[in-house]
Amino acid sequence: MLDKRINAPIRPELPQLHAATCLLMTRFINGRHCPTLAHLIVQQLSSLLAHPELEQFPDSCNMYQQLLEHWQKVSALLLEQQTVGQRQRQYH
């Protein structure tokens, strides 16, 4: 989405990104353990880390980086499990 006044990308507010990320993580924790949702969490955390306002908060930046690394592992593990499950169904 572009801001028509200055023809530049519009960045979501930092609190909005944080809230959306928390909502996705809550959905995951409450039982929707799918690779797509984990991937969305990784994307949200990446967006948070890329937000220019985050530079003002080094502790938050560090926390989001740690969360990103964790969710990248979760996402990779779920994709691997999904692939193994698909292979097992092919052989049965």
pLDDT of 6-56, one tens digit each?
Answer: 555 566 799 999 999 999 999 999 987 889 999 999 999 999 999 999 999
Helix axes 14-29, 35-50, angle to 10 degrees: 160
CA angle at residue 11 from 32 to 63, to 5 degrees? Answer: 55
pLDDT of residue 29: 93
Each residue's pLDDT tens digit, 51-82: 999 999 999 999 999 999 999 999 999 988 88
> Model-level pTM greater than 0.85?
no
Burial pattern 42-57, b for ≥16 Cβ within 10 A else e, equals bebbeebeebeebeee
Burial degree of 29 (CB within 10 A; 0-12, 13-18, 19+): exposed
